[in-house]
Structure 1
């Protein structure tokens, strides 16, 4: 069995924690941004799209298990507000146009009749 203690009798976990604390006291935000960028570049060179899809799916599932509807509403609202602050009317017109084109390519006239009917019915219920 492997010995998880270093020369001072300290566990690897404890030594790592202490090293991390020391590093955080001696380095600022720029240091962490730089090493994060290097790590991200190295990861992207060593992994393909399938890897990112898999870890994204796992992360999404883990998040869904630990958060409720209110969490998603809150982050959606924050994301929408941030997007609104950084984009203008032209941006929304462009993404609306792209969305409309994508929808028209994947749906037929019956789809539009149905959603038009539902929309008309919902207005008459008001």
Structure 2
């Protein structure tokens, strides 16, 4: 564990990384599929068609740029 300048306390980034690693040791693929599905459902309730069009365009542009570089 690395520490930062704040009284040798762990940073939020470090704490998040450690928590994520611990979670991955305790859960399987199905767990991540389930929480991803829940997140997708929540997102669809909070956003409209234009939101998805916008992120689709961004993804397409990013892929196009990556493929042309």
Whichever structure has more helix as a proportion of its residues is 1
Tell me the secondary structure at the aligned position of residue 74 of structure 1: helix
| Matching residue within 91, 104, 118 for 2:51 | 91
Structure 2 regions of 5+ residues with no counterpart? 1-5
Q: What do residues 21-76 of structure 1 show as CA deviations (whole Å, max 9, x unaligned)?
A: xxxxxxxxxxxxxxxxxxxxxxxxx7xxxx33322221211111110111111101
Query: Structure 1 segments of 4 or more deviating over 3 A?
Result: none
In 1: Cα distance, 2:64 partner to 2:43 partner: 25
1:65 pairs with 2:36: no
Give the root-mean-square deviation of aligned CA atoms: 1.9
Q: Describe the shift of the 1:56–1:107 C-alpha distance in structure 2 as closer, same or farther (beyond 3 A).
A: farther
Q: What's the TM-score once normalised by structure 2's chain length?
A: 0.73
Structure 1 regions of 5+ residues with no counterpart? 1-45, 110-126
Q: Describe the shift of the 1:105–1:54 C-alpha distance in structure 2 as closer, same or farther (beyond 3 A).
A: farther
Q: What's the TM-score once normalised by structure 1's chain length?
A: 0.43
Query: Of the two, which has the highest radius of gyration?
Result: 1
